[in-house]
Amino acid sequence: MPTFLKAFVAGFGSTLLFHQGLLAVLHGAGWTARAPWNLAPVPPLGVPSVISLAFWGGLWGIALWAVIARSGGARQWVLALTIGALAPSLVAWFVVMPLKGMGPAGGFDPSILIGALLLNGAWGLGVALIMRLFRRHASG
């Protein structure tokens, strides 16, 4: 399987497992009202929200892996966490939210800012882990 496809699968899967898994923990703890694995349809195609999110997570996975692939060891994990937390969050805060009429960074609500960093950081670590598993499977 080509590397870019593995990175897409890693990003897609990390969204479903790590991003949404942490969201389930945060929701269960009462830290957020936002429920994980949202199946409500979203325009324009009417696909479940979580599948749309995972698709974008797959595209972000390609970009993240392109940046961190040549790193190894602890550096790769730190980059996965840092870039994973920051890049998608910044785009969500300053592009997506304003396009959806929410204002920049959701009005700078600390729970939105911290939540995005936590969820996207977990996603980034998940991408690195899944890509490492792909590598081990290919060599073993």
| pLDDT band for position 140 (cuts 50, 70, 90) | low
Q: Is this prediction's pTM over 0.75?
A: yes
**76-125 tens-digit pLDDT:** 999 999 999 999 999 999 999 999 899 999 899 999 999 999 999 999 99
3-state secondary structure of 3: helix
Asked if the model's pLDDT at residue 138 lies above 90, the reply is: no
Among 15-24, 59-68, 73-82, 100-109, whose mean pLDDT is lowest?
A: 100-109
76 and 67 Cβ atoms separated by less than 8 Å: no
3-state helix, strand, coil in the chain (%, to 5): 75, 5, 20
Q: Where are the alpha helices (DSSP H) in 16-109?
A: 20-28, 49-68, 73-91, 97-99, 105-108
Instruction: Name residue, tokens 């325009």.
Output: 43
